[in-house]
């Protein structure tokens, strides 16, 4: 993500994780993304609800037999429902959403690739 200034910020091929994480640029880009998502929150919420419904149908269709796949599908559906509710209720305000984007990316950068589960 590049919201503008790309003057290097101490990035080197042999730099540490702290040196190579451009938090300022990512924060700027995350703010732009959060604003764009906030402006389309109702549409995004409906899309997440529809995706969750498709997962519900697939889970109940019995086409997936593997318990690991079923568990992942159920957890994904729960996350989709929670995100849809948060978007439609305004719970993910622009600032909080931008912070979540930066925190998630920092975790990935530091080898802890995980989505915040709240």
Higher pLDDT: 77 or 89? It is 77
The model's pTM is 0.51
pLDDT for res 118 = 46
Q: How far is CA 53 from CA 45, 49, 85, 86, 114, in A?
A: 12, 6, 14, 17, 24
Residues 55-71: pLDDT tens digits?
Answer: 999 999 988 899 999 99
From 112, 116, 111, 105, select the one nearest 26 (Cα to Cα): 105
Q: Compute the average pLDDT of residues 81-107.
A: 78
pLDDT band at 115 (very low <50, low <70, confident <90, very high): very low
User: What is the rounded distance in angstroms from the CA atom of residue 35 to the CA atom of residue 29?
Assistant: 10
Residue 51 has pLDDT above 50, yes or no: yes
Residue 111 has pLDDT above 70, yes or no: no
Residues 2-19: pLDDT tens digits?
Answer: 455 555 555 566 655 555
CA atoms within 13 A on the CB side of 97: 20
């Amino acid at each position: 993500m590049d919201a503008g200034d790309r003057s290097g910020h101490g990035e080197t091929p042999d730099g540490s994780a702290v040196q190579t994480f451009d938090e300022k640029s990512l924060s700027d880009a995350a703010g732009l993304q959060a604003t764009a998502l906030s402006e389309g929150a109702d549409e995004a919420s409906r899309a997440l609800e529809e995706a969750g419904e498709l997962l519900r149908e697939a889970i109940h269709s019995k086409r997936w037999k593997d318990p690991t796949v079923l568990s992942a599908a159920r957890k994904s559906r729960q996350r989709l429902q929670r995100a849809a509710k948060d978007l439609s209720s305004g719970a993910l305000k622009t600032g909080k959403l931008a912070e979540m984007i930066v925190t998630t990316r920092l975790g990935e950068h530091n080898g802890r690739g995980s989505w915040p589960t709240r």
